[in-house]
Amino acid sequence: MPARDIGRDGMLLHWDTSILPVPDLGTRLILAVDLPELQGFERRCIRCQCTVRHTAPEPGERFTWMELYIHTMDFRVA
């Protein structure tokens, strides 16, 4: 699920509802978000502990936009 607009305390995520149902508001999640690959470096990801703040389904689509509040994050080798 692609992430957009990742900041220190929040993230906008494009959630595919055909894979998993949309979590309820206030649900705490642990996510690993892949970062773009850079030539000559190992693949990396951000591991985040976050809470669902807002959801906005796309009409007629299987995707939902989710706004997440990030409590903690760390960078890891993917």
**Tens-binned pLDDT, residue by residue, of the chain (78 aa):** 667 788 889 999 989 999 999 999 999 999 998 888 888 888 889 999 999 999 999 888 889 999 999 999 999 987
Q: Are 10 and 66 in contact (CB under 8 A)?
A: no
Q: What is residue 2's predicted lDDT score, i.e. its pLDDT?
A: 67
* Angle ∠(51,49,11) on CA atoms, nearest 5: 60
The residues with which 58 forms a beta bridge, in sequence order, are none
Contact 22, 49 (CB under 8 A): no
Q: What is the pTM of this model?
A: 0.81
Q: Order of strands, edge to edge, in the sheet holding 3-4?
A: 3-4, 10-16, 63-77, 44-57, 28-34
Instruction: Give every CB contact of residue 19 below 8 A, 6+ residues apart in sequence.
Output: 1
Domain boundaries, the chain: 3-77
